[in-house]
């Protein structure tokens, strides 16, 4: 009997300790995880990867989470995205959701909330 395929999740965050913590958390929950330290590194590697969901830091040097999200919301590359931030600003959550983010979470991210957000993001539309 074949095992079900594990969900492939990307983490894009400029902070190494955040990438490491999220990697450990999600692997423990049964996900396959790949991490990138910048939006440009992630977008450059995207064509060679099959991913089910991406977790994007909002504030990063270079391309912001919003910039990356805009690149993902095309008919060719639609990928469910969860935006995370340690520096919440007025209107950011509304902007993220309007841009297509399936969830907006504040750091430190609650483990259960993140895992549930990933599961909801990858569920097929009814």
In a domain, 88, yes or no: yes
User: What is the residue range of 31's domain?
Assistant: 8-122
pLDDT of 12 above 80: yes
Name the percent of the chain lying above pLDDT 70.
96
Across 70-99, average pLDDT = 92
What distances in angstroms separate CA 2 from CA 5, 6, 22, 27, 49, one per listed residue?
9, 12, 28, 20, 22
In a domain, 13, yes or no: yes
Residue 19 sits in a domain whose CATH number is: 3.40.50.2300
**pTM of this prediction?**
0.93
Q: Domain total for the chain? A: 1
In a domain, 106, yes or no: yes
In a domain, 28, yes or no: yes
The reported pLDDT for the residue numbered 126 is: 64
pLDDT in tens, 77-88: 889 999 999 999
């Amino acid at each position: 009997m074949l095992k079900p395929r594990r969900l492939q999740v990307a983490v894009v965050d400029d902070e190494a300790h955040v990438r490491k913590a999220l990697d450990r958390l999600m692997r423990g929950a049964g996900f396959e995880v790949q991490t990138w330290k910048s939006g440009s590194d992630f977008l450059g590697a995207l064509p060679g990867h099959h991913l089910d969901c991406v977790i994007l830091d909002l504030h990063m040097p270079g391309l912001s989470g919003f910039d990356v999200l805009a690149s993902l919301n095309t008919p060719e590359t639609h990928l469910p995205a969860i935006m995370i931030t340690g520096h919440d600003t007025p209107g950011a959550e509304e902007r993220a959701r309007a841009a297509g983010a399936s969830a907006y979470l504040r750091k430190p991210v609650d483990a259960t909330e993140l895992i549930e957000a990933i599961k909801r993001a990858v569920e097929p539309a009814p």
